[in-house]
Amino acid sequence: MKTSYRIAIIIILILSIIGVFVLLIMPLAKGNTDLTLKIAENNKNKIEFERNIKAYTEIKSRYYILNARLDKYNTQLPFSVNIPVLTEQIYEIEKYSGIKISSINFQDIASPIGTVLQSPIGSINIKLIMTGSYYQTLIFLNTLEIMPRLVKIGSISINSNLAEGNDTGENNLNQIMLATSVSFSVYYDKTEYKTN
């Protein structure tokens, strides 16, 4: 019987070792399975997050491009007439070019009464009279054409007043004073935008 006790004890020891092993390994295996599932879920979330970041980055880039275009168009076609700002811009061009403006007349072009569809773009006709040399007048007109605001020059009328010539009797373009009348139009957005 001693051998049968020994066999029974060995079997009980083996079973208890297996039981302890199972009791210790099973939670670890379950923990590994949970950890593996969490890692897989995190990888899936990471891929989705990267996709979202890429989409948001593209949207942000598009926003900045559209915002830059809006700023450009707002400069070219402001939301209101803003005559004081326009007058200041014209006088800045006067200072830059060296001409002398004697008069500026503004005329807002209204839509005909009774029109069903009014244009969202308003127009102001401006007529100014200035004096200066040929080159000063040329600089003024070129600068006026390239100003950020949309400008359409309609007509230019130039009269020359000869300045006193030099001793040799020659006149150059810097000595000839020109009286120039310029008619041009500037445009603005007259749409009423509502903010929420």
For the stretch 32-52, pLDDT in tens is: 777 788 888 999 999 999 999
Q: In which band, very low, low, confident or very high, does the pLDDT at 169 lie, cut at 50, 70 and 90?
A: very low
Q: In which band, very low, low, confident or very high, does the pLDDT at 122 lie, cut at 50, 70 and 90?
A: confident
Query: Between 56 and 161, whose confidence is greater?
Result: 56
pLDDT at 113: 57
pLDDT at 55: 93
Structure tokens at 189: 């957005």
H/E element, 121? strand 121-133
Assessment of whether the complete model's pTM goes beyond 0.85: no
The residue extents of the domains of the chain are 1-76, 83-189
pLDDT tens-digit map of 171-180: 566 678 889 9
CATH of 83-189, one of 3.30.70.60, 3.65.10.10, 3.20.20.140, 3.40.50.2300: 3.30.70.60
Q: In which band, very low, low, confident or very high, does the pLDDT at 99 lie, cut at 50, 70 and 90?
A: very high
CA dist 125 and 111 (Å) reads: 13
Can you point out the beta strands (E) in 38-114? 100-109
Q: If DSSP codes are grouped into helix, strand and coil, which group holds residue 26? A: helix
Dihedral angle at the C-alpha atoms of 185, 189, 192, 195, nearest 10 degrees?
A: -150
CB atoms within 10 A of CB 10: 10
